[in-house]
Structure 1
Amino acid sequence: MKKTIFITGASRGLGRIWTETFLKRGDNVVAAVRNTDSLKELVAQFPDNLLVLQLDVTDKKASFEVVSKAKTHFGQIDVLINNAGYGHLGAIEELEEQQIRAQFETNVFGLIWLTQAIIPIMREQKSGHIIQLSSALGVVALPTLGIYSASKFAVEGLSESLASEVAGFGIKVTILEPNGYETDFSASSAMQSKPLEQYDAVRAALQEGNKAEDYGVPEATSEAVLKLVDTENPPLRLILGKAGIQWIKYAYSERMKTWDEWQEVSVAAHGK
């Protein structure tokens, strides 16, 4: 069945791949991007199915306006994929205030504005699927990626709460948790703080543990995303990539060990 997909961050990386995937199978796509010229070729190829709208997701007013335009153009919005975001590299001590605020403005607040804008439409339809882009780093944090992880941990928490809030309206929520992929995430699309030499050893150790096989093939995510939007009962969380599954399972096993070891102290702290 043909769907209308609203996707942010559609100009490159996974967002671009998913946009093309939906278009090729005949879905309608609303692509929200900073630079509309980036999708000129796709507009020429899919003039009836693709609506490209300029958007900086940090602009709340503009976010509500483009959602309204999309609804007017296609008549409905079945799926929102909150994909816009970027990574910031830097140890916590290295982060400047504006860098911290900018990371949250895009990865968290931008996601919230689009979510708030779409809910009334989906509530009126009595159906819809909101897909929030988190990360394996929204479950497991790594050194020098703390502020990025913090933004994705925020996405995890607010999206889990959202799922309970909107379930009665027929709206589904899924948190996507990709591991690393062979995109420009760590290159041109990432920001970096001015490094302090005191953290050179931390960076070196992280780089040493970096393995090429841990990074997935971006195009391989397409089939998973199609299955996700087509299923009647989508999961609250979906990990993308085998490395992510390993990291997250290990992290939770370690957490359970610690919680079990300290259970007596935890229970005593209840007080009754």
Structure 2
Amino acid sequence: MSNKIWFITGASRGIGAEIAKAALAAGDRIVATGRDRAGLEKLYASYGERVLALALDVASEQQAQAAVAAALERFDRIDVLVNNAGYGQLGLFEEIEPADIERQFATNVFGLMHVTRAVLPAMRRQRAGHVFNLSSIGGVTGFKACAVYSATKFAVEGFSESLAQEVQPFGIHVTVVEPGFFRTDFLDARSVRYGARRVEEYHQLSGEMSQAYEAYNHQQPGDPARLGQAFVTLSRAPNPPLHYAAGSDALEYIGGAIERRAAELRQWQALTLSTDIVAAAA
């Protein structure tokens, strides 16, 4: 099928909006979702009937089911799901409130699962579909002041790898996307959140990390418009990858993480093998 129907979460700005624009430029139709339906309708007004704008808080399973039902009523199918909605809960682990950790998981992990659960029955009926789950370089390797955010993205990685095996018999592909740093509003005050607790022993490190993120904001090397185009390319690939690292920095960080893990496996191989049951002597 040349013209596809996309269901995109977090389509109001940033990477989600660029994916939507790229899909529309390719001649596809989209379901653009976000918390502000009026804002979405204004953003995509020029595309007319090719866009269905829907309000969706992914943390609500009921809203996810309702949004997917509305999408199917309008377009009759969903070919591509992009689980993009999410935000960054940054800061040192001990300085983040438990309630903020739960909110981070509710959006970045459980929200992604809610939408996926709502879409998969349609894709199974179609015997075709492509699910894109937005992870991060922080889902492959950890960084200081990213413990909670990285935990959600590591969860997305594991979920995606397992899900890919479960839905493969139905002709459904899963690609987990691991972007590096892209020049969006991800680190802006309205998007990112920092820990509210203060632990004196972390005072210097916490301040250094906050300043580093602020200095790097809008200096990131990644171009979100080009990433949007990459999604369209992947959506047309007959055998898309399970993992897609996006950006030169992603290649560097993920490649380094793989090399370090391989070296660690080799270093501790003898102890690893020592834990198997030893067969009784004949």
Whether TM-score is above 0.5 comes out as yes
Which residue pairs with 1:149 in the alignment?
A: 150
C-alpha separation in 2, matches of 1:215 and 1:58: 30
Structure 2 stretches lacking a partner, 5+ long: none
1:198-233 deviations in whole A, cap 9, x for unaligned? 224334554569768753122221221111111111
Match of 1:202 among 201, 205, 214: 205
1:23-42 equivalent positions in 2, closer than 5 A? 23-42=24-43
1:117-266 equivalent positions in 2, closer than 5 A? 117-187=118-188, 188-194=190-196, 195-203=198-206, 206=209, 215-266=221-272
Residue type matched to 2:193 in 1? M
Q: What is the TM-score of this pair, normalised by structure 2?
A: 0.92
C-alpha displacement of 1:41: 3.0
C-alpha separation in 1, matches of 2:120 and 2:5: 15
Cα pair 1:86 1:190 within 8 Å, conserved = yes
C-alpha separation in 1, matches of 2:202 and 2:24: 45
Tell me, what secondary structure is at the counterpart of 2:173?
Answer: strand
Alignment pair present for 1:267 and 2:273: yes
C-alpha separation in 2, matches of 1:4 and 1:132: 17
Residue type matched to 1:202 in 2? L
How many pairs were matched up? 272
Cα pair 1:32 1:55 within 8 Å, conserved = yes
Cα pair 1:133 1:176 within 8 Å, conserved = yes
C-alpha separation in 2, matches of 1:120 and 1:237: 23
1:32-79 deviations in whole A, cap 9, x for unaligned? 110012223344201110000101000001101110110110011000
Identity %: 40
C-alpha displacement of 1:19: 1.0
C-alpha separation in 1, matches of 2:31 and 2:159: 24
